[in-house]
């Protein structure tokens, strides 16, 4: 799908990844609809991209309905919003669990479903980009809800892709690893071991661009060794757990 001239909705536009994605797409001629919980944090981004701001909290069901009602004239949906920061097991509450599910899973599932239904009913194609994580392939300690929602998002996305293809709508799952200046680890000031390589927000933006233009099933934004370790975690979780324990993964995850 062509980016130039397309109207693209980006959720989670106020974060570092959302900003990089929006800047890249605007520079390629896209018309943007930028969503976030607070308009004030988007002022600089709007000045750079000319995007339209829609204030919406994805955990608020009335706000989510309002976003769904805007999808009729959207050509591309980039579901980028997400939250992490699991509490310690002893401190986890139902409210925290609900919030993670609402933002990371329920909201993108509903938006993508509505998008596909509306575009299909109108006889129009489109593209959905679901921004997940390598945490949707491999489990890590102290990230229960983040893993749960990202595993669920990946499964939904790859299934939706097969259904939506029948009505001419592309769907791609994008899975970043550690990003050096944005995302949950960077935002929390987490320190990774020196041997762990990272990618930049601009690499995520390039991945989104590839998804829109080429419609691959998945785009991974991570060094080769991190992708390999995620694959190992998917097929041999017990071995992956043992390796993570020796590498101190629990302590790293606590910094999220």
Of 59, 83, 71, nearest to 33 (Cα)?
A: 71
Whole-angstrom Cα Rg for the chain: 18
146 belongs to the catalytic site: yes
User: No. of H helices and E strands in the chain?
Assistant: 11, 7
Q: Where are the alpha helices (DSSP H) in 102-248?
A: 107-121, 144-165, 183-187, 201-214, 224-235, 237-247
- Which contacts qualify for 4-7: CB closer than 8 Å, 24 or more apart? 4/28, 4/29, 4/30, 5/29, 5/30, 5/31, 6/30, 6/31, 6/75, 6/76, 6/212, 7/31, 7/32, 7/33, 7/73, 7/74, 7/75, 7/76
Q: How far is CA 192 from CA 137, 180, 195, 211, 253, in A?
A: 20, 10, 8, 28, 10
Does residue 189 sit in helix, strand or coil?
Answer: coil
- In this structure, the strands spanning 52-55 and 76-79 are unpaired
Token couple for 38: 């607070």
Catalytically annotated residue among 45, 71, 146, 230: 146
Q: Strands, DSSP E only, in 56-112? A: 76-79
Positions annotated as catalytic residues are 146
């Amino acid at each position: 799908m062509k980016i130039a001239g397309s109207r693209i909705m980006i959720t989670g536009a106020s974060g570092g990844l959302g900003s990089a994605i929006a800047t890249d797409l605007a520079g390629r001629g896209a018309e943007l609809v930028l969503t976030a919980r607070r308009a004030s944090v988007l002022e600089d981004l709007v000045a750079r991209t000319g995007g339209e701001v829609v204030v919406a909290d994805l955990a608020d069901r009335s706000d989510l309905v309002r976003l769904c009602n805007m999808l009729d004239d959207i050509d591309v949906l980039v579901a980028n919003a997400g939250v992490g920061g699991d509490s310690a097991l002893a401190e986890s509450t139902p409210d925290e669990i609900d919030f993670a599910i609402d933002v990371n899973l329920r909201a993108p599932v509903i938006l993508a479903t509505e998008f596909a239904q509306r575009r299909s009913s109108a006889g129009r194609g489109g593209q959905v980009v679901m921004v997940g994580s390598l945490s949707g392939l491999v489990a890590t300690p102290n990230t229960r809800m983040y893993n749960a929602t990202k595993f669920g998002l990946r499964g939904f996305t790859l299934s939706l892709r097969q259904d939506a293809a029948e009505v001419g709508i592309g769907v791609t799952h994008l899975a970043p690893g550690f990003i050096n200046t944005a995302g949950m680890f960077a935002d929390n000031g987490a320190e990774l071991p020196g041997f762990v390589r990272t990618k930049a927000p601009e690499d995520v933006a390039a991945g989104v661009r590839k998804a829109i233009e080429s419609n691959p099933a998945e785009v991974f934004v991570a060094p080769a060794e991190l992708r390999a370790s995620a694959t190992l975690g998917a097929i041999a979780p017990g071995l992956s757990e043992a390796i993570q324990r020796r590498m101190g993964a629990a302590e790293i995850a606590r910094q999220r």
